[in-house]
Amino acid sequence: MNAPARFLSPEAVQRKQQAVEQLAACLGSRLSTGDAVREQHGHGEASGRTYPPDAVVWPQSTEEVSRIVAICANHDVPVIAFGAGTSLEGHVSAPYGGVCLDLSRMNAVLDVRAEDADCVVQPGVTREQLNAYLRDTGLFFPVDPGANASIGGMVSTRASGTTTIRYGAMTRNVLALQVVLADGRIVRLGTRAAKSSTGYDLVRLLVGAEGTLGIITEITLRLYGVPEAMTAATCVFPDLQGAVDTVVEIIQSGIAVARMEFLDEPQVRACNRYSQLTLAEQPTLFLEFHGTADAVSGQTARAEDIAGSHGGAAFQWAAEQDARARLWKARHAAYFAARAYRPGCDCLIADVCVPISQLAQAVAAARADIDAAGLFAPIVGHVGDGNFHVLFVLDPAVPAERERADRIYDAMIDRALQVGGTCTGEHGIGLGKRAKLVQEYGAEVVDLMRSIKTAWDPRGILNPGKIFMEDHKT
């Protein structure tokens, strides 16, 4: 990528102004340079510092996105795609200014083909919106990162979440894409076929590219039949090891579990206070099973036996939707509960993923570091795939808290990499983990990634500053 300083020079400022004026002539009221709007679009959910764009635009079609990108390319102006703003690593910020493409008005479900179990949506469609639209078709879209994220953002960050253990992440569930390239050209990638061996898999390349290779304007998704029966369950354990051993045995036994989540004692305590629950404040597993009524009943009983053999107790299960929602209430509200436990504080959400055999040690080491540092930092995890998060709730008036949290987070990543894990299981690189990407793969591999970026975006205008450190070789 070209040196980002060229985006900040006096000449660059003039080019940005020219581009904004040209875009305003095309878009009218669908362009804003207001401070409040720019501020809102300069950060994600929990990314720290705000970097506002020079202007925000709201395109309504692929053709408009193409024209916007072409104008920005002609003036050498950065372009940053924005969905629901729920990302966590600064993906949507604009450190060099430029034009933010808010795709929320491109929010139509374009086609649903029930017989093929797929659909086509625009990028601004949210996960909850799509499933509400599908309600009467007998189909649903299962990827659940927790937040009501936009589908375009979920593709760009390679989202996963609570259902990954059964249905996979976005990588498995995106069939085809329509993309606007860095010069404004429109291309289609992928097909609706169940499989293909034709050339490079460019769809998978775009999934997780964080808006650095193109602007996604249509997505073809794989859908699934709504299960005949669903059962949710919770179980408490005297210690972390018992919970993790239960997870491992459930997976090894072949039980078709759909969700398998973990909350530690501080997180359960926060959830009890926030959601007015009375859960035992011990390490807790949240489980969900999908299938036929008979299969789900058998799976739930088998899981209860396994949990009991590892010290699990207070096994509660529910099949009705309202009862399942009550059991999952604590897990879905974990982020808000943690923040509410220390009002007025910020929340840094750490994210690492390790092989399941290493999960107990990784979580226990993080917990020990947190307690030794005197921080309030609950732990939650998608333990079925070895991914866990630490929610560091930090007082912005006490900078030493952030310093201690950063040291603990660095140690978490170091331990994850040492056992064959990764610095991010689902949050992505963005601004926040660029150095960690180099630590994980090495400069040579990151240079290979950078060469792809240069080939697709030679002027470096698409979401510049994300994924790659400018000086990673030094």
Cite the beta strand spans of 44-200 per DSSP E. Answer: 55-57, 79-82, 99-102, 109-113, 118-121, 139-140, 174-180, 186-190
Q: Is 278 exposed, middle or buried, given 0-12, 13-18 or 19+ CB atoms closer than 10 A?
A: exposed
Main-chain phi, psi angles of 131, to 5 degrees: -70, -30
Boundary of a domain, candidates 204, 225, 246: 225
Domain containing residue 174: CATH number: 3.30.465.10
- Is 430 within the bounds of a domain? no
Determine the Cα–Cα distance for residues 76 and 357; give it in Å rounded to an integer: 48
Mean pLDDT computed over 381-409? 94
Is the pLDDT at 201 greater than 70? The verdict is yes
- Do the domain assignments include residue 438? no
Confidence of residue 248 (pLDDT cuts 50, 70, 90): confident
Residue 40 and residue 143 share a domain: no
Question: Can you give the pLDDT at residue 473?
Answer: 41
> d(Cα 392, Cα 54) in Å, to the nearest integer?
31
Mean pLDDT of all residues in 1-17: 79
* Domain co-membership, 141 together with 207: yes
Q: Tokens representing 120?
A: 């086509």
- Looking at the structure, do residues 221 and 113 belong to the same domain, yes or no? yes
The residue that leads in pLDDT, 333 or 37, is: 37
Q: What confidence score (pLDDT) does residue 456 get?
A: 98
With cut-offs at 50, 70 and 90, classify the pLDDT of residue 4: low
Same domain? For 245 and 215 the reply is no
Q: Same domain, yes or no, for 123 and 219?
A: yes
Residue 1 has pLDDT above 70, yes or no: no
433 lies in some domain: no
Q: Is 431 within a domain?
A: no
| Average pLDDT estimate for 409-424 | 98
Model confidence at 222, in pLDDT bands (50, 70, 90)?
very high
Phi then psi dihedrals of residue 85, to 5 deg: 75, 25
Q: Is residue 466 part of a domain?
A: no
Residues 262 and 331 in one domain: yes
Q: How high is the pLDDT of residue 47? A: 54
CA distance 102 to 122: 12
pLDDT the model gives residue 45: 85
Average pLDDT, the chain: 93
Q: In this structure, what CATH number is given to the domain that contains residue 373?
A: 3.30.70.2740
Please indicate, yes or no, if residue 447 is contained in any of the structural domains: no
Overall domain count for the chain: 4
pLDDT tier for residue 6 given thresholds of 50, 70 and 90: confident
Residue 110, SS3 per DSSP? strand
Q: Are residues 280 and 249 in the same domain?
A: yes
Q: What is the pLDDT, as a whole number, of residue 340? A: 96
pTM (global) more than 0.75: yes
Q: Which residue has the higher pLDDT, 323 or 390?
A: 390
Nearest to 371 by CA among 335, 408, 410: 408
Which residue would you say has higher pLDDT here, 244 or 416?
Answer: 416
CA atoms within 13 A on the CB side of 48: 17
Using 50, 70 and 90 to split pLDDT, how confident is the model at 321? Answer: confident
pLDDT digits (tens, 9 = 90+) for 85-122: 999 899 999 999 999 999 999 999 999 999 999 999 99
Domain that holds residue 324: 229-335
- End of a domain among 162, 192, 225? 225
Specify whether the backbone of 222 is left (phi greater than 0), alpha (psi in -120 to 50) or beta: beta
Tell me whether residue 251 is in a domain. yes
CA distance 242 to 251: 14
Q: Which of 370, 394, 418 is the last residue of a domain?
A: 418
Do residues 158 and 207 touch, judged by C-beta distance below 8 A?
yes
β-pair type (79-82, 99-102): parallel
Counting residues of the chain whose pLDDT is more than 90, the rounded percentage is 83
Q: Measure the CA–CA gap between 146 and 391, rounded to whole angstroms.
A: 14
Cβ count near 18 (within 10 Å): 14
In a domain, 36, yes or no: yes
Q: Are 121 and 221 contained in the same domain? A: yes
Say if residues 466 and 211 touch (Cβ distance below 8 Å): yes
The mean-pLDDT minimum among 71-75, 198-202, 380-384 falls in 380-384
Pair 220, 264 in one domain: no
Q: Which two tokens stand for residue 51?
A: 């970097």
Q: Is the dihedral of CA 264, 270, 271, 273 positive or negative?
A: positive
In whole angstroms, give the CA distance from residue 243 to residue 250: 11
Answer yes or no: are the C-beta atoms of 153 and 88 closer than 8 Å. no
